[in-house]
Structure 1
């Protein structure tokens, strides 16, 4: 049971990455063809801004998920609250930077 869940999760993750790579190659060309360079520039700027935010978050989402596995399984409300509080404090700092 556990092995099949891990396998399913890995396959879905790889498919997600594959779709993202394909979209990264196809979409810019389609945007340039159908909308022109103005819209392509706007989209590139927004994408770069989102990339900066992702850099500042520095994987906090995955770390939070990993930290929450055990407390959620054990129904430990105090630990869950502490993890969520620490995550919110960090994300507020990131928001202040921007």
Structure 2
């Protein structure tokens, strides 16, 4: 079983990397050629500002994942419950902090961005692009790390592959029919929103988590 999981994880990870590279070439080129360098630069700047927030993790994600190995191996459900609940609380708090960070960006960043864009234009674009980041911390982070610790990282990799492909295809068609960058990025956020929700559903279904997010049993 472990060999199968290792094979699944390895193959899924490789496919994810290839998919990420391909989509990474297609989307920026589409945005640049259809919306121009100014909009492309604005999107990249907002993306970078949102990515800065990831540093607030401060390595807790890696600690959370590594702390799950032993109780998973021992099938120590009490310890698993304690670690999972603590991790979920931490990432939920990060999601709340991210929300405040996004509000600050919405209020302040438009004044420093390219002056060719109106305040509402930049502010609404930030809001549209931040939805998936918030969902990742609020729903997906702890569940993704939990599955990786249980050698089921392929579940997370496969959902990433699917959402990357869906996002690239939908963005291509939206751009080709003349949709605004706001619509494109809003649809992107909702597609990526499905990823953490899918992980949450999977963990709840396979690990029987109650309303307090306490794990009662593992599936094989």
Q: Which moved more, 1:65-74 or 1:50-59?
A: 65-74
Size of the alignment, in residue pairs?
A: 98
1:62 is displaced (CA, Å) by 4.6
Please give the per-residue CA displacement for 1:3-56, whole angstroms capped at 9, x wherever unaligned.
Answer: 121111111012112211222222111101112223312320222023212233
Query: Are residue 19 (structure 1) and residue 46 (structure 2) matched?
Result: no
Q: Deviations over 1:53-97 (max 9, x none)?
A: 223324543543343344356252354224532563476368279
Question: Alpha carbons of 1:60 and 1:16: their partners in 2 closer, same or farther (altered >3 Å)?
Answer: farther
Tell me the TM-score normalised to structure 1 length.
0.68
Go from structure 1 to structure 2 and tell me whether the alpha carbon gap of 1:2 and 1:89 turns closer, same or farther (over 3 Å shift). closer
Q: Larger % of helix: which?
A: 1
Supply the RMSD in Å over aligned alpha carbons.
Answer: 3.0
Structure 2: 5+ residue stretches without partners: 102-220
Question: Could you list the runs of 5+ residues in structure 1 that have no partner in the other structure?
Answer: none
Higher mean C-alpha displacement, 19-28 vs 66-75:
66-75
Q: TM-score, normalised by structure 2?
A: 0.36
Structure 2: how far apart are the matches of 1:22 and 1:60? 31
Q: Which has the higher contact order (CA 8 A, sep 6+)?
A: 2
